[in-house]
């Protein structure tokens, strides 16, 4: 009996301890963790890095994320990228008018970013190392990326200097380039509009038709790739993205069609892996592996680039545009330049 009483007493001790401590601590002890997001494009005149810190909150995490002090260090970090030939140092600046979507949980419309003027400085043959040093803690985060060069992408259709006929089924055809894994084609239609009888009101706009990303099988370049669309897809996209001619009776607009840009955007293997791991899943298993290519930090430091080619649009396409009464296209915008 005495032995049984001793066992019951021992079992009761942890339950008594739990019942006395009513405050359950969900959060671990705070640890300084740097978060870095950077996509380096050798064709950019200015390169930007988003560098923040992880944070804890006892309240609603989505509300805390909208407070800039939750995400930002209140002092400047030492940030640079370096190759065998040069070192480029980053400073801080605040960008304004950042779009704040309804479902965006991060602070806006202002954002602090790190930037560096990189016009004609980045060598596409080099590998670049990122260093982020915290001057207060001495902690240093690092990563490397090999730059990729979109300007080398051969776009075989539409042909340079030729006219693009959007009234028929089309295939945008190009070849993969070295060290790039994912590709995305955008067909950009440029146009101008003005209020009827008010030429001083003229403004310039564009509508993008964006295709699904696709992956190359290899990283040595030269693969034939294509993105296709039907003869009606282009015009349907315009109707879905340009307001009808008579939507505002007090400001009736006349429009002028321009040219089309074919843009092939590319990114490296690192960004491809990051997207694949973080894309939505139909699985009931919600755990997914953490992915970062940074040492002593989380996030991604990768390379991207693009190739753009401009083509005039074919007369068959302009005929259909003029017949689309709801959009009121009158003539080419180059006629009044």
Beta-sheet pairing, 224-229 with 329-332: unpaired
Task: Identify the domain containing residue 182 by its residue range.
Answer: 150-266+306-336
331 and 190 together in one domain: yes
Q: Exposed, middle or buried: residue 108 (CB in 10 Å: 0-12, 13-18, 19+)?
A: middle
Record the pTM. Answer: 0.81
Give the count of beta carbons closer than 10 Å to the beta carbon of residue 166.
25
Q: Looking up tokens 């006929």, which residue turns up?
A: 165
89 and 139 together in one domain: yes
End-of-domain residue from the set 146, 168, 192: 146
102 and 218 together in one domain: no
56 and 97 together in one domain: yes
Looking at the structure of the chain, the number of domains it has is 2
232 and 174 together in one domain: yes
End-of-domain residue from the set 87, 115, 146: 146
Which CATH number covers residue 63?
A: 2.60.40
End-of-domain residue from the set 115, 146, 177: 146
Instruction: For residue range 207-259, list pLDDT tens digits in order.
Output: 999 999 999 999 999 999 999 999 899 999 999 999 987 777 777 889 999 99
CA distance 105 to 62: 6
Instruction: For residue range 7-59, list pLDDT tens digits in order.
Output: 333 334 343 333 445 555 555 566 788 999 999 999 999 999 999 988 766 66
In a domain, 290, yes or no: no
CA distance 90 to 132: 10
228 in Cβ contact with 168 (< 8 Å): no
Q: How far is CA 133 from the centre of its chain?
A: 25
């Amino acid at each position: 009996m005495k032995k049984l009483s001793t066992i019951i007493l021992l079992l009761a001790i942890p339950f008594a301890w739990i019942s006395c401590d009513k405050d359950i601590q969900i959060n671990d002890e705070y640890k300084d963790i740097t978060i870095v997001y950077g996509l380096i494009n050798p064709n950019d005149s200015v390169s930007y890095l988003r560098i923040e810190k992880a944070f804890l909150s006892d309240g609603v995490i989505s509300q805390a994320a909208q407070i800039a002090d939750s995400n930002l260090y209140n002092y400047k970090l030492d940030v640079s990228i370096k190759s065998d030939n040069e070192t480029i140092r980053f400073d801080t600046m605040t960008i304004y008018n950042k779009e704040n979507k309804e479902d965006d949980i991060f602070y806006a419309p202002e954002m602090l970013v790190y930037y560096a003027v990189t016009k004609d400085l980045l060598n596409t043959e080099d590998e670049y190392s990122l260093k982020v040093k915290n001057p207060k803690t001495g902690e240093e985060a690092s990563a490397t990326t090999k730059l990729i060069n979109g300007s080398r992408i051969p776009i075989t259709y539409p042909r340079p200097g030729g006219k693009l006929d959007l009234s028929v089924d089309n295939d945008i055809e190009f070849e993969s380039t070295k060290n790039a894994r994912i590709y995305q084609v955008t067909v950009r239609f440029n146009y101008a509009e003005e209020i009827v009888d008010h030429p001083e009101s003229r403004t310039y706009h564009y509508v993008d038709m964006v295709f699904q990303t696709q992956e190359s099988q290899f990283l040595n370049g030269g693969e034939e790739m294509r993105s296709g669309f039907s003869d009606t897809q282009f015009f349907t996209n315009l109707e879905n993205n340009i307001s009808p001619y008579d939507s505002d009776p007090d400001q009736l607009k006349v429009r002028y069609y321009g040219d089309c840009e074919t843009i092939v955007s590319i990114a490296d293997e690192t960004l491809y892996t990051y997207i694949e791991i973080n894309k939505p899943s139909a699985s009931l298993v919600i755990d997914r592996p953490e992915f970062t290519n940074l040492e002593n930090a989380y996030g991604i430091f990768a390379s991207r680039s693009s190739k753009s080619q401009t083509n005039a649009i074919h007369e068959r396409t302009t005929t259909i545009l003029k017949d689309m009464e709801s959009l009121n296209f009158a003539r080419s915008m180059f006629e009044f330049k």
